[in-house]
């Protein structure tokens, strides 16, 4: 199966994930965001949460599209990112108070970002990879803290920050997948897509 005989459905509405795919020459044929309950289960570990949510998003999209008769030749791609300080999962803040709590926890500390990328093949097989990236933030000054909250860039982002934005200057060290922290680990995503027969690199020469 080549790209010409398959389509790619991105089960996400994230502009960051879309931009990362475009970076490696992939434009999904359809965006199909899924809405699931992302509440961690009792005592659920951050890595396990990322794994479960990534699969749940991919499976939800597959089930809905199958009911619509649209899964015949589709590869479905989904992802989920979890930011954790120790075993504590940080939210995707929607209020300033929530964002302030996240920044307070991250300031001057190490944390981890788990990103799960999951595909469902046209045959309904599920394949998944998880990246585990370790980061350390500088200790934020009062001005940095207040100005970042005021800029609003934190809204809706896991852990209350986007490493590709202004918060990038807070990162002292990053060990792992930078694109995974942004929201979609490209190395792992490319491998999963190629294993499913979606050979996107064949089209790179068309862009020259």
Q: Supply the residues annotated as catalytic.
A: 80
**How far is 55 from 27, CA to CA, in rounded Å?**
22
**How far is 59 from 80, CA to CA, in rounded Å?**
13
- 11 forms bridges with which residues in the sheet? none
Q: Using an 8 Å Cβ cutoff, are 110 and 136 in contact? A: yes
**How far is 51 from 71, CA to CA, in rounded Å?**
23
The CA–CA distances, whole Å, from 73 to 1, 2, 4, 125, 191 equal 9, 11, 10, 13, 19
Query: What does DSSP assign to residue 109?
Result: S
Which residue reads 């929530």 in tokens? 98
């Amino acid at each position: 199966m080549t790209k010409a005989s398959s389509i790619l459905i991105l089960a996400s509405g994230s502009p960051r994930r879309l931009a990362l795919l475009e970076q490696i020459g992939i434009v999904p044929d359809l965006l199909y965001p899924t809405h699931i309950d992302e509440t961690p289960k009792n005592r659920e570990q951050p890595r396990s949460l990322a794994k479960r949510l990534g699969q749940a998003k991919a499976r939800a999209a597959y089930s809905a599209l199958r009911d619509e008769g649209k899964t015949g030749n589709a590869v479905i791609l989904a992802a989920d990112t979890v930011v954790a300080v120790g075993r504590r999962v940080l939210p995707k803040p929607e209020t300033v108070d929530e964002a302030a709590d996240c920044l307070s926890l991250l300031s001057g500390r190490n944390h981890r970002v788990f990103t799960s990328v999951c595909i469902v093949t046209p045959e309904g097989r599920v394949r998944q990879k998880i990246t585990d990236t370790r980061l350390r933030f500088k200790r934020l000054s009062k001005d940095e803290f207040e100005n970042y909250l005021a800029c609003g860039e934190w809204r809706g982002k896991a852990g209350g920050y986007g490493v590709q934005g202004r918060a990038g200057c807070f990162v002292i060290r990053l060990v792992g997948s930078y694109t995974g922290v942004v929201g979609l680990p490209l190395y792992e995503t490319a491998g999963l897509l190629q294993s499913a027969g979606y050979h996107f690199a064949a089209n790179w020469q068309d862009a020259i």
